[in-house]
Amino acid sequence: MNAMGPRIIRCVSCDGFGWFEDDFSGEGEDCDWCAGAGYVYRDGNERDRPIPQADYASVADELERLELERLRALGYQGSARKPWQQAIRKDTQLGRDPYHDEEES
């Protein structure tokens, strides 16, 4: 048992990105392991589980801190951004905003 409750760790499946690029279709898909959050709870038994959406508000500060840490480790200087907002990916498949694709005619 861990008196501190579950820790939040970077998702081991998607490494904090929260999603994958599908090898076959090239489309981005949410990571099943973390439900797209990029981070999961790890309990005292070293088991991971997705952070429920209902918890996002209460862990937002921690997630933002972890995300900044991750981006800094990647060499990114600035505030946390979604993958498609990162200039380094602008001209790649991952640089598209998946939420805007359907709006283009």
Single out the residue of 20, 33, 76, 84 in contact with Zn ion (rule: CB under 5 A).
33
Least gap, CB of 36 to Zn ion (angstroms): 7
Residue the block writes with tokens 């904090």: 16
What number of helices (H) and strands (E) belong to the chain? 1, 5
The residue range among 6-14, 20-28, 61-69, 77-85 that interacts with Zn ion, by the rule CB under 5 A, is: 6-14
Residue placing its CB nearer to Zn ion in the complex, 9 or 68: 9
Residue placing its CB nearer to Zn ion in the complex, 14 or 51: 14
CB-based contacts of 65: which residues, under 8 Å, 6+ apart? Answer: none
Distance separating alpha carbons of residues 39 and 71, to the nearest angstrom? 14
